[in-house]
Structure 1
Amino acid sequence: MGTERRARAAAGAFFFVQGLCFAGLLAQVPTLQRGLGISDAELTLVLLVVPVVAGAGSVLAGHLAPRTGSAWLLRVAGPLVAVAVLTTAFAPSALVLYPVVAVVGLLLGVVDATMNMQGVAVQRRYGRSLLNSFHGCWSVGGILGALAAVLAHGLGWSLAGGLALVAVVGVAVDLAAAPFLDARADGPTSSPAGPVPVVAAVPVPWRPVLLVGTAVAIVYLADSAVSSWSTKYVADVLAAADAVAPLGLAAYLGCQLVGRLAADTVVDRVGPRRTVVVGGTVGAAGLLLVAVAPTPSVAVLGFGATGLGLSVVVPLAFSVAGALDRTGVAVARVNVFNYVGFVLGAAVVGGVAELADLRWAFAVPAVLALGVVALAPAFRPATSDAHRGEVAGTPPR
């Protein structure tokens, strides 16, 4: 296996572990809540700590990566995420849980940013679209993380036992993959005169970051809506049986995975702008179908279309960021919009559901998803430059 292939496999492994740990923890949240005896309101505050602090972690990664390299940061922070997830099981009270989940959030932010920096570097070396497949690895990890919680409950394991399963697998995979990360992706390198940056520091333009970042925020707002409310919507509004209600989320995650695994080929054939136009349109149509669904089966179909369509946007946003500079700063900045969307999703969708009903709560992200289509032109210039020039070693324009 060549150096590029090893770097690709290593980056994919870290994406996989990140999804495994994140979903593994979220799937155990009800158990954690019961064990500490905290209210729904307090649990909401605890969960909001994660994306807020993760934003700070992403900013920190953007500051450190040009100096230390994203590979070094990822080698350190990746296994620590798994360990931090496990420590939540040992928090004796909600008061102690707050700083614990803050550490989890900080590390998640660092890893989210640096693994995407690595993904961009590998994509640059291959000269074709790969980031969707890396995010597909995250989706596979997320599905297995949720299944790990199901397995732990089925075996009668404690919260610590269930999270230990995820943590042990996560640490083992990260440590095995760490030596093969692309150490040349960014950060300092050596010369006779001492350490110098790989690429001379240049200002990162904010306009393209804000445009693709806004699209990322919209996608994660919709993702937050589906992840948090889909099961309740199918069960309460559409009067589905308990066995049917989770199928909406399952369809969303399954189609999201399919979309990510197939999207790189589509991007190489039709380009990123058209891919985003089609993806945003399908995603918006899916959410609208959910909002007007007369039966559970129609809603499940809508959730699936949402996952399939919107799955392509975030990886392509990181491709744009990676073409703006080679230090990782732009990638870290775009990554912050991930957490902005998550927080806004919890606030907007939850607020609309409280003031009106869940149908309107899904209609709002359906309208906002059309904004992704409007922002599609922002995905073309930088990504196209990356494909034309970066493989040959020329800096992106």
Structure 2
Amino acid sequence: MRIQWPKWALATLFLVDGTGFGLWAAHVPVFKQNLHLGNGQLSAALLSLVGGAILTMPVMGHLIERFGSRTVIRVVALAYVAMLALLAEANSYAVLILFAGMYGAAKGALDVTVNAQAIAVEQHYGRSSMSLLQGCWSVGGLLGASMTSVLLKHGMPLRFNMSVGAALMGAAVLAVLSLLVEEERKPHQKTKFVFPDAALLKLAMIAFFGLFAEGAIGDWAAVYLRSSLGASLSAAAAGYATYAISMASGRFLGDWLIGRFEDRTILIGSGLLIAAGFGCTLVSHSLAVGVFGLVLTGAGVANIIPVIMTLAGRNTRMGAGPAISALSTIGYFGFLAGPPLIGWLAVGLGLGKALVLVVIAGVVVALGPVLFSIRQETAVEVGA
């Protein structure tokens, strides 16, 4: 069988994207401790990351339509690695806010372009691969968190950890950029803003709450395990890594699930697992039980975005690039805005009570397909 080099090259970029986020997420408690930040101060840094991403995401769709995701991704993938390395140099609260915004801008750009390239790869080979690719993102998150846990356990400083990670990621990016596919585009068609239709907005709303849960867990799960359940820094990072393993496993099963169950069934089940799993983590007084809840939560988070991104990528009115850009801007706003909102609420309510929002987000994801009538035929509606 011929090796599908573009698909595995893109899988590598998803892996790099996830690794960078895993490194960041697992180091959040370290930034908090090293810079003596309260929950409110940490939230401001997370909000800066949100702002950077929201600025770049809407622009990416137009750049992709004009130049193609293959060209755009060459720039943003290298920028993402560079911004992660720069983030490691944050030695004060003000600098952390600035560099977090720059990292967020690069991450937002990369998230849109890799998903647009994923649609191009699916069209090139004529088969679904979104869950596999999202699974590679989760494996990257696992690698970043696991490497952080090991290095912290051996006393290595934050700057060393993130710089080494960025160097390895940069080497991987340079090795695969030439292997990506060039999607078919209409060279004489001017790109213009098209407001998302009702079907795409429904998908974006479910994506918002699914990614709200994923983002909040990514930035606060390790902090919660350490501050509320008494885990060490390395154990807290390992707890996040366990969650990442569960999420990756669920995504690698995603294409099989999508082939056997309706989209709405997968989304309902995913939301219920998030609500039940993270609820278990919040009510537990044991680290082991808390991590078990994160395992259930990871399984719930796993296939929300693969299902929704695939549906959005079939949008024939806007085109795959602008459709994914629009959905990403709304959906990933939840991913990036959730963490600072949790932090601000934690100042007055305590972190455990603030994280109840994750449970609520899971309930909304479960109800969304029923309220919005999301079915297998949504793919046709989105393209209408």
Aligned partner of 1:264 in structure 2 is 255
RMSD over equivalenced CA pairs, Å: 3.2
Q: Which moved more, 1:295-304 or 1:69-78?
A: 295-304
Amino acid at match of 2:139: V
Match status 1:214 vs 2:205: yes
CA distance in 2, matches of 1:353, 1:94: 19
Closer, same or farther in 2 for the Cα pair 1:73/1:158, shift >3 Å? same
Closer, same or farther in 2 for the Cα pair 1:7/1:232, shift >3 Å? closer
Deviation of the 1:349 alpha carbon: 3.2
Aligned partner of 2:292 in structure 1 is 301
CA distance in 1, matches of 2:96, 2:236: 30
Matches within 5 A, 1:1-397: 2=2, 5-29=4-28, 31=30, 37=35, 39-40=37-38, 41-91=40-90, 93-153=92-152, 157-184=156-183, 187-188=185-186, 195-197=187-189, 203=194, 205-231=196-222, 233-234=224-225, 237=228, 248-293=239-284, 295-325=286-316, 326-376=319-369, 377-378=373-374, 380-383=376-379, 396-397=383-384
Amino acid at match of 2:208: A
Any conservation in 1 of the 2:50–2:101 contact (CA below 8 Å)?
no
Q: Which moved more, 1:369-378 or 1:305-314?
A: 369-378
Q: How many residues align?
A: 378
Amino acid at match of 2:168: V
- Alpha-carbon deviations, 1:308-357, whole Å to 9, x = none? 01211012111111011334001011112343213442354345544445
Deviation of the 1:260 alpha carbon: 0.6
Deviation of the 1:27 alpha carbon: 3.3
CA distance in 1, matches of 2:143, 2:358: 27
Any conservation in 1 of the 2:149–2:234 contact (CA below 8 Å)?
no
Deviation of the 1:262 alpha carbon: 0.5
CA distance in 1, matches of 2:188, 2:274: 44
Closer, same or farther in 2 for the Cα pair 1:350/1:91, shift >3 Å? closer
Where does the alignment leave 5 or more consecutive residues of structure 1 unmatched?
A: 189-194, 387-395
Any conservation in 2 of the 1:248–1:304 contact (CA below 8 Å)?
no
TM-score, L = length of structure 2: 0.85
Closer, same or farther in 2 for the Cα pair 1:80/1:379, shift >3 Å? farther
Where does the alignment leave 5 or more consecutive residues of structure 2 unmatched?
A: none
Closer, same or farther in 2 for the Cα pair 1:241/1:83, shift >3 Å? closer
Any conservation in 1 of the 2:146–2:237 contact (CA below 8 Å)?
no
Higher relative contact order (CA 8 A, sep 6+): 2
Closer, same or farther in 2 for the Cα pair 1:84/1:236, shift >3 Å? closer
Amino acid at match of 1:320: L
CA distance in 1, matches of 2:29, 2:274: 29
TM-score, L = length of structure 1: 0.83
Deviation of the 1:9 alpha carbon: 0.8
Any conservation in 2 of the 1:49–1:98 contact (CA below 8 Å)?
yes
CA distance in 2, matches of 1:153, 1:231: 13
Deviation of the 1:95 alpha carbon: 4.0
